[in-house]
């Protein structure tokens, strides 16, 4: 069977599974819509968290950026993984013990202020919209290739599917759908990686295969890649071009941004006990590591295959009539383009003036089975996995947006007398509006998928993280300090990103950056500004009420913990 038939079969089966689960687990109350009734098993929650967290950026774009930029792409890998550890150890158990539905709920209650809640609602919606744009773009890339439609049509199709199960099921439907999506996406990512590793190095473990010699040769994979890339005018694959300062700031922004992401934090409210929050965080880290340790190998293998299939064994180019199948397939989507600059009828791919190819880096993972000449069913399986990754995270983010609107903005803000039924309706309307907005941003994205997501992490780092950390670990932090800090952090970070990415993109060079920090890393500086402003304002404003200090104390130290006992 051809790729398209296999794709319809495998994607159809997985979608039928997701929709069946969404109907079976549809939400009947606001508690089920927001936190799945608080009764999810830790292992299931670990899988759902992994699916929620391993977005289109992780599945589709992370290996793509590593494949194209090499060493520098590793910052995404290190930052996102480190951030999850930070979230699991420092935040998840305390937030679960606090027992609120949403992050703005925590901010509003902890800082005893409606204004603080509203600022947190604004930050949650802003961050989630930025992030979900990347997911919708990822959905569009998958549909564009495998339904052979324009990428914008692919995004519109994806919007319709997300609308169905996010609006119907709420967190309960999404949680169990995400368990299924994790199984699909991890199987889909590992199978082609293992096949490719065996074909290229004879080693079934891609993580080890990347550091092995090529089959029938004494040349190591990375040495071969360095040789190919430098010969063709690219930077050596294993060399970095970013300054150490920028690498540090991007990594830190991704780390603390992960720990401040509202759609990941909300997952820890769905388990029965605080202990279960810790256990599910551990399971999620194990499940996440399966994909994250494999991504660099997928990137390296795909890069070797891509260069060799376009340029031919002699590195002189391939006649357009004999172009590899993957080039022809992806040309239909507009994500791969060829321009015959020298009129010789041959395609040539390089990093200098000789280059005739435009290749979107978001296609690398999805194209990797075709690059390695794997069976058609493997290509289709990867399409199902890519959709599972993008849709699972998109659903989680849309839920954050809808709950921020219905629960925090309306129920706890403008319309406190809403009934449970009215609140549930408002949440579903909010999700529907969010899907339309996300679709628009997916069609008109401010960058490729991983970059868009990096901005979302920077905004989360600059806004939520300090307010949450200070709220848990510094009982004397007052509402004035927290509000001022959040506003300063997100305003500074968003302004910096908007200036360099939209207002004056020509100035987006290391010479013009503040202290040499790129827009992807500026969230770390925004976070530092948030901490400083929070603490300074806190010193000159009213003290925190005693009952709030006692509440914070009880979250961190359970009653009777550490007390002396007579025996």
Read off the pLDDT of residues 414-452 as tens digits, 9 standing for 90 and up. Answer: 777 777 777 777 777 877 787 888 788 778 766 555 566
Tell me the C-alpha distance between 462 and 523, whole Å: 5
Tell me the C-alpha distance between 523 and 514, whole Å: 12
* Residue 36: its H or E element: none
Looking at the structure, do residues 73 and 168 belong to the same domain, yes or no? yes
Looking at the structure, do residues 247 and 312 belong to the same domain, yes or no? no
Looking at the structure, do residues 229 and 347 belong to the same domain, yes or no? no
Note the pLDDT of residue 239. Answer: 83
* Residue 313 domain-assigned (yes or no): yes
CA distances from 63 to 13, 335, 535 (A): 26, 17, 39
Total domains present in the chain: 2
Looking at the structure, do residues 219 and 94 belong to the same domain, yes or no? yes
Looking at the structure, do residues 320 and 382 belong to the same domain, yes or no? no
Tell me the C-alpha distance between 102 and 30, whole Å: 12
Q: How many helices (H) and strands (E) does the chain have?
A: 24, 4
Looking at the structure, do residues 12 and 110 belong to the same domain, yes or no? yes
* Residue 460 domain-assigned (yes or no): no
- pLDDT bracket for residue 102 (50, 70, 90): low
- Last residue of one domain, picked from the residues 445, 470, 499: 445
**363 phi/psi in degrees, rounded to 5:** -90, -15
CA distances from 529 to 249, 462, 488, 525 (A): 14, 8, 7, 6
pTM of the model: 0.78
Looking at the structure, do residues 330 and 270 belong to the same domain, yes or no? no
Q: State the virtual CA torsion across 465, 466, 472, 473 in degrees, nearest 10.
A: 130
- Last residue of one domain, picked from the residues 413, 445, 477: 445
* Residue 427 domain-assigned (yes or no): yes
Read off the pLDDT of each residue in 125-135 and give the average, rounded to a whole number. Answer: 74
pLDDT tens digits along 306-322:
888 888 888 888 888 88
* Residue 189 domain-assigned (yes or no): yes
Quick check: 14 and 387 in contact, CB under 8 A?
yes
Residue 87 scores a pLDDT above 60: yes
Quick check: 211 and 221 in contact, CB under 8 A?
yes
Note the pLDDT of residue 204. Answer: 92
Q: What is the CATH number of the domain that holds 49?
A: 1.20.1730.10
Residue 468 scores a pLDDT above 60: yes
Task: Provide the residue count of the chain.
Answer: 567
CA proximity to 304, closest of 204, 220, 188, 192: 220
- pLDDT bracket for residue 561 (50, 70, 90): very low
Looking at the structure, do residues 392 and 433 belong to the same domain, yes or no? yes
* Residue 125 domain-assigned (yes or no): yes
Note the pLDDT of residue 566. Answer: 42
* Residue 107 domain-assigned (yes or no): yes
Q: Which residue has the tokens 């219905």?
A: 406
Looking at the structure, do residues 336 and 427 belong to the same domain, yes or no? no
Tell me the C-alpha distance between 44 and 401, whole Å: 23
- Last residue of one domain, picked from the residues 371, 396, 412: 371
Note the pLDDT of residue 190. Answer: 92
Note the pLDDT of residue 169. Answer: 54
Tell me the C-alpha distance between 331 and 322, whole Å: 14
Show the domain range for 239: 3-288+375-445
Of the listed ranges 53-67, 110-124, 409-423, the one predicted with least confidence: 409-423
Tell me the C-alpha distance between 335 and 350, whole Å: 17
**338 phi/psi in degrees, rounded to 5:** -125, 135
Quick check: 153 and 143 in contact, CB under 8 A?
yes
Quick check: 522 and 510 in contact, CB under 8 A?
no
Read off the pLDDT of each residue in 208-235 and give the average, rounded to a whole number. Answer: 87
* Residue 410 domain-assigned (yes or no): yes
* Residue 336: its H or E element: strand 336-338
Residue 265 scores a pLDDT above 60: yes
Read off the pLDDT of each residue in 322-341 and give the average, rounded to a whole number. Answer: 83
Residue 16, classified by CB atoms within 10 Å of its CB into exposed (0-12), middle (13-18) or buried (19+), is exposed
DSSP 176-187: HHHHHHHHHHHH
* Residue 546 domain-assigned (yes or no): no
Looking at the structure, do residues 272 and 361 belong to the same domain, yes or no? no
* Tokens (6 digits) for 244: 């150490």
Read off the pLDDT of each residue in 376-392 and give the average, rounded to a whole number. Answer: 81
Looking at the structure, do residues 344 and 385 belong to the same domain, yes or no? no
Handedness of CA 450, 456, 461, 465 (dihedral sign): negative
Instruction: Name, in order, each residue with C-beta under 8 angstroms of 116's C-beta and a sequence gap of 6 or more.
Output: 107, 108, 467, 479, 482, 483, 486
Note the pLDDT of residue 15. Answer: 79
Handedness of CA 458, 460, 461, 462 (dihedral sign): positive
The terminus-to-terminus CA distance of the chain in angstroms comes to: 76
Looking at the structure, do residues 275 and 310 belong to the same domain, yes or no? no
């Amino acid at each position: 069977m051809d790729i398209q038939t296999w794709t319809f079969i495998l994607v159809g089966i997985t979608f039928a599974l997701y929709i069946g689960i969404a109907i079976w687990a549809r939400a009947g109350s606001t508690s089920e819509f927001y936190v799945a009734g608080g009764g999810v098993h830790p292992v299931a929650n670990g899988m759902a968290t992994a699916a929620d967290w391993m977005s289109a950026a992780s599945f589709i774009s992370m290996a793509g950026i590593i494949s194209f930029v090499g060493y520098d792409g590793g910052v995404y890998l290190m930052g996102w993984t480190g951030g999850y550890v930070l979230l699991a150890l420092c935040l998840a158990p305390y937030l679960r013990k606090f027992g609120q539905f949403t992050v703005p709920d925590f901010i509003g209650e902890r800082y005893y202020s409606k204004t603080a809640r509203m600022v947190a609602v604004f930050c949650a919606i802003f961050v989630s919209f930025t992030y979900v744009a990347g997911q919708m773009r990822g959905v569009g890339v998958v549909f564009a290739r495998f339904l052979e439609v324009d990428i914008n049509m692919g995004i519109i199709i994806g919007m319709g599917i997300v609308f169905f199960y996010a609006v119907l099921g709420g967190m309960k439907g999404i949680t169990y759908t995400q368990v299924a999506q994790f199984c699909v996406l991890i199987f889909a990512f590992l199978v082609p990686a293992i096949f490719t590793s065996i074909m290229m190095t004879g080693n079934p473990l891609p993580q080890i295969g990347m550091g092995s010699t090529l089959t029938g040769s004494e040349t190591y994979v990375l040495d071969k890649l360095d040789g190919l890339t430098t010969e063709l005018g690219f930077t050596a694959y294993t060399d970095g071009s970013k300054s150490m300062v920028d690498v540090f700031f991007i990594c830190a922004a991704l780390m603390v941004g992960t720990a401040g992401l509202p759609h990941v934090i909300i997952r820890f409210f769905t388990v029965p006990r605080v202990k279960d929050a810790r256990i599910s965080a551990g399971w999620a880290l194990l499940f996440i590591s399966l994909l994250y340790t494999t991504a660099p190998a997928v990137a390296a293998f795909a890069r070797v295959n891509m260069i060799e299939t376009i340029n031919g064994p002699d590195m002189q180019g391939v006649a357009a009539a004999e172009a590899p199948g993957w080039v022809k397939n992806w040309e239909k989507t507009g994500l791969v383009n060829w321009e015959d600059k020298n009129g010789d009828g041959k395609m040539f791919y390089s990093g200098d003036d000789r280059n005739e190819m435009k290749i979107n880096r978001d296609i690398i993972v999805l194209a990797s089975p075709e690059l390695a000449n794997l069976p058609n069913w493997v290509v289709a399986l990867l399409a199902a996995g890519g959709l599972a990754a993008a849709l699972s995270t998109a659903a989680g983010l849309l839920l954050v947006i809808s709950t921020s609107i219905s629960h925090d903005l309306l129920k706890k803000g403008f319309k406190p007398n809403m009934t449970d039924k009215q609140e549930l309706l408002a949440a579903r309307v909010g999700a529907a509006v969010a899907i339309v907005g996300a679709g628009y941003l997916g069609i008109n994205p401010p960058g490729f998928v991983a970059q868009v997501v990096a901005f979302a992490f920077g905004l989360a780092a600059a806004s939520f993280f300090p307010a949450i950390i200070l709220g848990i670990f510094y009982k004397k932090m007052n509402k004035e300090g927290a509000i001022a800090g959040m506003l300063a952090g997100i305003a500074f970070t968003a302004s910096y990103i908007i200036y360099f990415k939209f207002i004056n993109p020509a100035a987006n060079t290391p010479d013009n950056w503040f202290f040499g920090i790129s827009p992807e890393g500026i969230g770390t500086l925004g976070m530092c500004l948030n901490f400083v402003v929070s603490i300074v304002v806190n010193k000159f404003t009213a003290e925190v009420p005693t009952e709030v200090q006692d509440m914070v104390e009880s979250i961190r130290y359970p009653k009777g913990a550490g007390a002396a006992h007579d025996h």
